[in-house]
């Protein structure tokens, strides 16, 4: 008598989906994601890899933690504002604000009168308070959008004034092939380049300004340094020209920072006479992705009312996170910039001691040098500390299923730099290294000798 092939008992998809074990995930993740996991488990069952009764449990085990594919990672690269890791991590206050804003909110409703209110009024008030030198403030969806709006409003919408004067040394490319001159030209401006790659004088600007010029643009070369035989013109000198001066500071530093003496700030640029300053919100400010516009009240209001501004409008989540960043506790970026190297070293020593031996060596606390990142403060070195491990662990930690850890390989060692790691994640870091080290040890043990 032949036994029945257990694969013939493979359950139907609807039967597995109805299993009580999958009820909570279906409510939390949705049917589409759960059904994909069930389909994969059923394929394994048909291939004889799973018993029919184990299909629901296998599908449950394969489900992601969240409906979105983005995963939280530990930034142990030593780059504080890491573009590939989402730039500035938000503060707990900003994260909480996002949760509140995710539901119905009074983003454009005056609860006192029951009538329509000014959109994002509280966030704008917080930004104005943070930069008192600005007569007006506005926010769009990113730094490039801020510059595009200014150019569109001033150099594309004013009859006979389409030209933008900019120094040749400030025709910069930032990330992913994005170039400032191409952005300006894409919204209708004509560029007038002045000076040379390494030197520009006020006389060059003066000779270029005429009735066709809409504004002078000064761009901070925030991701590179030019040294040697160089000269540039400051905002205070440019402010003597008979046209508006727009300054793109890039990294979003609102006020001068003692550790970043060469990084321009919005406050300083406005005090020096800039009519308008543009910047990003998700870099040194430590907030969500957005573009900041700060300047004279009439100019900012004209930008806010421009038709193109509607296409660049930020949503309620950005407004909530920005306000909480400005009014709440110190955000993680600011905390990292102010980190005490001795405290970082003590953390590294504690983590290394907790990890101990790993395949190919032993965890060791070492001094390190971190960077600001995010196209800000090039050349600035931040004293830091790291946990040094054998380089082969880099991939295993990056691919860890529970909590990926991204470090940097330097001189044949993996360094887990702590400058941007939340102290609350130190224990998770230890667990991740132990977990990955154990897997690496198992793989090595399974390899045949010789």
Over the stretch 272-289, which tens digit does the pLDDT of each residue have? 999 999 999 999 999 999
5, pLDDT greater than 80? no
Average pLDDT taken over every residue of the chain: 92
The helix (run of H) or strand (run of E) holding residue 217 is: strand 213-219
Average pLDDT on 261-280 reads 95
Query: Which is more confident, 287 or 440?
Result: 287
pLDDT at 197: 87
Structure tokens at 380: 């600035």
CA distances from 250 to 53, 174, 255 (A): 58, 10, 13
Cβ of 229: how many Cβ atoms within 10 Å?
A: 7
Give the model confidence (pLDDT) of 193-221 as tens digits.
999 988 999 999 999 999 999 999 999 88
177, pLDDT greater than 80? no
The helix (run of H) or strand (run of E) holding residue 327 is: helix 316-327
User: Is the distance from CB of 402 to CB of 435 less than 8 angstroms?
Assistant: yes
312, pLDDT greater than 60? yes
pLDDT at 1: 46
pLDDT at 446: 53
Cβ of 187: how many Cβ atoms within 10 Å?
A: 17
Average pLDDT on 14-27 reads 95
pLDDT at 15: 94
CA–CA separation, 414 vs 406, rounded Å? 10
Q: How much is the pTM?
A: 0.89
226, pLDDT greater than 90? no
Cβ of 231: how many Cβ atoms within 10 Å?
A: 11
């Amino acid at each position: 008598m032949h036994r029945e092939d257990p694969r013939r008992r493979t359950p139907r998809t609807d039967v597995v989906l109805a299993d009580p074990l999958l009820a909570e995930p279906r409510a939390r993740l949705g049917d589409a994601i759960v059904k994909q996991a069930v389909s994969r488990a059923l394929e394994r069952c048909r291939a004889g890899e799973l018993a029919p009764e184990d299909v629901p449990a296998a599908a449950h085990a394969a489900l992601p933690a969240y409906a979105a594919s983005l995963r939280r990672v530990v930034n142990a690269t030593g780059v504080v504002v890491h573009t590939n890791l989402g730039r500035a991590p938000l503060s707990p206050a900003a994260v909480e604000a996002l949760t509140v804003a995710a539901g119905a909110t009074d983003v454009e409703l005056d609860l006192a009168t029951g009538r329509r209110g000014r959109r994002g009024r509280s966030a704008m008030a917080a930004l104005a308070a943070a930069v008192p030198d600005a007569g007006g403030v506005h926010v769009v969806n990113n730094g490039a959008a801020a510059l595009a709006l200014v150019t569109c409003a001033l150099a594309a919408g004013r009859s006979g004034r389409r030209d933008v004067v900019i120094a040749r040394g400030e025709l910069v490319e930032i990330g992913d092939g994005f170039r400032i001159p191409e952005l300006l030209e894409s919204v209708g401006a004509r560029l007038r380049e002045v000076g040379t790659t390494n030197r520009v004088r006020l006389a060059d600007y003066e000779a270029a300004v005429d009735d066709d010029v809409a504004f002078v643009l000064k761009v901070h070369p925030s991701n590179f340094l030019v040294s040697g035989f160089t000269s540039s013109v400051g905002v205070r000198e440019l402010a003597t020209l008979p046209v508006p001066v727009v300054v793109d500071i890039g990294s979003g530093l609102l006020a001068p920072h003692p550790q970043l003496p060469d990084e321009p700030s919005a406050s300083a640029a406005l005090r020096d006479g800039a009519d308008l300053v543009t910047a990003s919100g998700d870099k040194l400010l430590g907030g969500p992705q957005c573009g900041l516009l700060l300047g004279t009240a009439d100019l900012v209001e004209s930008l806010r009312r421009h038709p193109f501004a509607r296409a660049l409008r930020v949503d309620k989540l950005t407004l909530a996170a920005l306000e909480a960043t400005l009014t709440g506790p110190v955000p993680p970026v600011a905390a990292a910039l102010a980190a005490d190297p001795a405290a970082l070293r003590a953390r590294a020593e504690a983590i290394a001691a907790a990890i101990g031996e790993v395949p190919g060596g032993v965890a060791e606390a070492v001094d390190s040098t971190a960077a600001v990142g995010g196209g800000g403060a090039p050349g600035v070195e931040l004293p830091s500390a790291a946990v040094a491990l054998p380089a082969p662990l880099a991939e295993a930690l990056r691919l860890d299923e529970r909590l990926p850890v991204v470090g940097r390989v330097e001189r044949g060692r993996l360094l887990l730099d702590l400058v941007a790691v939340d102290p609350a994640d130190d224990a998770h870091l230890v667990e991740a290294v132990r977990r990955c080290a154990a897997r690496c040890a198992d793989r090595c043990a399974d390899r045949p000798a010789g």
